[in-house]
Amino acid sequence: MPSSMVGRPVVVGVDGSPAALAAVRWAAEEARRRGLAMRLVNAFSWSDVLPVDDAVGPGGHREMMLRLIRDQLGAASAVVERIAPEVRVERDVVDGHPVPVLRGESEGTAMLVLGGRGRGGVLGLLVGSVAASLAAHAACPVVVVRGTERDRSSAELPVLVGVDGSPDSEAAVAFAYEAASVRGVPLVAVHTWSDLMFDSRVSPLIDWEALETGERELLAERLAGWTEKYPDVHVQRLVLRGLAAHTLVDHADRAQLLVVGSRGRGHLTSMMFGSVSHAVLHRAPCPVAVVRADLTTAA
């Protein structure tokens, strides 16, 4: 299946932290699967550098930091060389704060990959609104590498996608199908609904069986076209009564990648709003891909 990612690099935010190196390892595998190049970027704002120490001398602090950053990028590049030697790698130090720098890097990029934690220039990528800002405004899917690294058997685990039943999840579904296809693994599509949306006074009057049937039909409609485009992907459909956050985090324990959607423009879908956003980005035991509704990730 052709992809709009062809010819575009996988960009990774690098800061020398173990989490960033875990993101590099994940991205190297992904680039190898898709036949893509990689770009390793360290965003560093010189305005944040402490005053130059007399022992270092004028300009010495900057040169010292540049050497450190280049060493970090070199270590990250060595990781790619070890895991996927066929993948072409570029590396760059970009002057500026992480969010605007990485937002700019996302233009013409297959995906932006970040570690779950960081230090220095990429510190706080998952603190407060920073991750949500990148997820909502990046011009490509954003992958946050969560959880501890698993053994090789985890490569057989399925891809998990949250489907909220609206057109806003279409891009996420497309990304998830392609991710499952290039890995040769099943796709688990989860759609949740909750009785909390109904007034308890009318609850006894609701035909719950008919309601659940309707939700199953809705999920089937959202997947129908993609199932035809990716006949090689075996799909398991789960329509579950419960809260999206708890359901997705629970099932992510048995997945190698969790994919969710976002409307962008700073407003996240119900699948990625408020406490659900925090639960997925901060508690999921596997990497999380956030795909904006207006992105096209597969042809």
Domain assignment present for 298 = no
Which of 93, 123, 145 is the endpoint of a domain? 145
d(CA 218, CA 126): 33
- What is the domain range of residue 283? 152-292
Residue 237, SS3 per DSSP: strand
Which of 112, 145, 178 is the endpoint of a domain? 145
Map tokens 């935010």 to a residue. Answer: 13
pLDDT digit string, tens, across residues 226-255: 989 999 999 999 998 888 888 999 999 999
- The reported pTM is 0.85
d(CA 128, CA 280): 14
In whole angstroms, how far apart are CA 17 and each of 21, 87, 118, 236, 241? 6, 22, 6, 36, 39
Residue 274 in this model has a pLDDT that exceeds 60: no
Strand partners, 114: 144
Domain assignment present for 297 = no
Q: Which two tokens stand for residue 243?
A: 């809260």
Domain assignment present for 26 = yes
Maximal C-alpha separation, the chain: 78
pLDDT digit string, tens, across residues 63-74: 888 888 999 999
The amino acid at residue 234 is H
Which of 116, 145, 174 is the endpoint of a domain? 145
Alpha helices per DSSP H over the chain: 18-34, 60-83, 98-105, 130-137, 170-183, 208-229, 244-252, 275-283
Span of 76-85, 95-104, 204-213, 221-230 with lowest mean pLDDT: 204-213
In whole angstroms, how far apart are CA 232 and each of 31, 169, 216, 284? 21, 21, 22, 27
Query: DSSP secondary-structure letter at 158?
Result: P
Crossing angle of helices 18-34 and 170-183, in 10° steps, is 80
Contact by Cβ (8 Å): 234, 188: no
Contact by Cβ (8 Å): 291, 141: yes
* Most confidently modeled range among 18-22, 128-132, 135-139: 18-22
As for how many domains the chain has, the answer is: 2
